[in-house]
Amino acid sequence: MRLRDRVAIITGAAGGIGRAAALRFALEGAKVAVADLKEEAGQKVADQILSQEGEAIAVGVNVADRSSVDAMILHVLAAWGQIDILVNNAGILRDARLVKMTEEEFDSVIAVNMKGVFNCTQAVAPHMMDRGYGRIVNTSSVVAIYGNFGQTNYIASKSAVIGMTKVWARELGPKGITVNAVAPGFIETEMTAGMPEKIVETMKAKIPLGRMGHPEDIANAYLWLASDEASYVNGIVLSVDGGVTT
């Protein structure tokens, strides 16, 4: 088991990629804090892990609210006494063209996707520094690399995640903490399920592998970066996109 006795916080873990990561980490021996704004849905994921003889707790959190994040950290420390891994997976979409995007649509995406990553990382870093060990995995996006129509706010936030990842890799590396990012491509999740079929087919046509990714594809990337197999990997952006950015 690659994560035996490790304690992992995974944000946005009630569904989609986060849920897949929580289940995968638990199978590899991690104690998993299933952190999500949707606490009931998060509890179902935690219950599934427990039913498979894993260890998990559900924690309600609004990553955009620092007091909520601080409460989450205290909850996890009270339960297990340490935090080894943070996966900043939580994110939202509020798509609109530049000329039609509202201030609320812009601010809400920045608050969750960018400030939320800052909040969680800043809150957990001192605990990892004290122990001289940590694995932080941030979620960016393939569109942060090449852009996408109607996603000014989303791409601004995901580009910022790449920048913060590289800064923190330099700042925290000397303390025994690696910080890396994963840039998912087009993944089949609740976010994409409501897209018109025509748009989905257009997306697939851009992917050399000819299919959209599965949440497990991203979960596996998170797992590797969180494991000791990637102990000398720091400050990278790992694209998991079927070759879109090739």
| Catalytic residue set | 154
CB 130: neighbour CB atoms within 10 A? 11
**Pairing, β 134-139 against β 177-184:** parallel
Tokens of 121: 């990382």
97 CB neighbour count, 10 Å cutoff: 10
Residues 6+ apart with CB under 8 A from 81: none
Q: In this structure, what token pair is assigned to residue 41?
A: 């849905």
Strand order in 7-11's β-sheet? Answer: 55-60, 31-36, 7-11, 85-88, 134-139, 177-184, 237-240
* Residue closest to 138 by CA, chosen among 113, 106, 171: 113
